[in-house]
Amino acid sequence: MTRLQIPKTYKLFIGGKFPRSESGRTYRVTAAKGDFVANAAQSSRKDARDAVVAARSAVGGWSGATSYNRVQVLYRIAEMLEGRRAQFVDEIRQLEGASASAAASQVDRAIDLWVWYAGWADKYAQVLGSANPVAGPYFNLSVPEPTGVVAQIAPQESDSLLGLVAVVAPAIVSGNTVVVVSHETAPLPAISFAEVLATSDVPGGVVNILTGSPAELGPWLASHADVDALDLTGAGSIDWIPLEAAAAETIKRVVRPSDDLDGSLQKIAAFTETKTVWHTKSLI
């Protein structure tokens, strides 16, 4: 007799915990061939707002951590991802219908991209910042600081894991916290990724993952006054222009849709603010 499998209940990831949607809603996740795989939580406006609260409360600790500490915490996540490699490959094959080699290649790229970004945590300020030779007796430094809370729509077309990594990593490496809406029809790698985060050293609330409809959640995040930046990288397939327009209300920083998932220092810079400090030098 074959053993009966135990299917997993997929939930949201908010503030380091795995709640169900407060709305009680779920939606069917199916394999590429159409078979039922799981019921995922269908996030609501309230879930989005709870996630923003969690993200906001995590900003101080995460952005205040030393950069060396952030590098290690982020690298640790790559170690955990590597350990679950097979699980991610299976999920991607099942949901995206990818071949074994394509799925493996996506997971490899995602892990390597994560490691690439992790190493920037203690370097980006050095490369993006500057000592400014002003014409006067002042010590003048410009340093990039994290913008704050970034709301993100992960890529929706394919690359359910790589796309998530490609938006989350550049945002959090500098000390931002994020609320990310995962791939809608292939959300399972995102929730498995949440399990990686939950068992790593990244503080709760730094990454908050919502499953469900980007089209439904986008407007609430774009108009939320406590969100500092809106990353629409993965929003190309939804009606994203009203989201950028809504973000204007509180002068959010906006990244427009793109299918470029490669690592880039400019993607880190997009969610930083340059602070310039002038210190007086005494005349001696």
Partner 1 sequence: MSFLEYAPAPESRAILSLRDSYGLFVGGEFTDGHGDPLDSISPADGSRIAAFATADAADVDAAVASARRAYDKVWSRMPGAERAKYLFRIARIVQERSRELAVAESLDNGKPIKETRDFDVPTAAAWFFYYAGWADKLEYAGLKNPRSVGVAAQVIPWNFPLMMLAWKIAPALAAGNTVVLKPAQTTPLTAMLFAEIVQQADLPAGVVNIIAGAGETGKALVEHDDVDKVAFTGSTAVGRSIARSAAGTRKKLTLELGGKGANIVFDDAPVDQAVEGVVNGIFFNQGQVCCAGSRLLIQESAHDEFVERLKRRMETLRVGDPLDKNTDIGAINSAAQLARIEELTAAGVNEGAVSWAPECSLPDEGFWFRPTLLTGVSTSHRVAREEIFGPVLSVMTFRTPAEAIAKANNTPYGLSAGVWSDKGSRVLSVADKLRAGVVWTNTFNKFDPTSPFGGYRESGYGREGGRPGLLSYLTEEKK
Provide the binding-site residues for partner 1, judged by CB under 8 A.
127-128, 130, 132-136, 138, 140, 142, 147, 228, 240-242, 244-245, 247-251, 253-254, 260, 264-266, 273-280
Cβ closest to partner 1, residue 99 vs residue 274: 274
Distance CA 98, CA 215 (A): 25
Least distance between partner 1 and beta carbon 140 (Å): 5
Nearest distance, CB of residue 227 and partner 1, angstroms = 11
Collapsing DSSP states into helix, strand and coil, what is residue 114?
helix
CB of 251 to partner 1, least distance (A): 5
Q: Which is nearer to partner 1, 9 or 132 (CB)?
A: 132
CB nearer partner 1, residue 63 or residue 192? 63
Give bridge partners of residue 119 from the DSSP assignment. none
Report, in Å, the least distance between residue 153 CB and partner 1: 15
CA distances from 227 to 3, 143, 220, 278 (A): 47, 22, 10, 29
Q: What is the identity of the amino acid at 137?
A: P
Distance, in Å, from the CA atom of 109 to the CA atom of 177, rounded to the nearest integer, reads 23
CB 72 → partner 1: shortest distance, Å? 22
From the list 182, 187, 25, 179, the residue with the least C-alpha distance to 95 is: 187
Residue 138 C-beta: closest distance to partner 1, Å = 7
Tokens of residue 128, six digits: 């993006």
CB nearer to partner 1: give 151 or 191.
151
Nearer to partner 1, 101 or 266 (CB): 266
The CA distances from residue 151 to 14, 56, 181, 252, in Å, are 13, 11, 8, 10
| Sequence-ordered alpha helix ranges (H) in the chain | 45-64, 67-83, 85-96, 100-118, 124-128, 160-172, 188-198, 214-223, 241-247, 265-269
* Burial class of residue 130 (count of CB atoms within 10 Å of its CB; 0-12, 13-18, 19+): middle
Residue 35 or 260 with smaller CB distance to partner 1 = 260
Nearer to partner 1 by C-beta: 100 or 241? 241
Candidates 62, 86, 69; CA nearest to 207 is 62
| Rounded least distance, CB 182 to partner 1, Å | 24
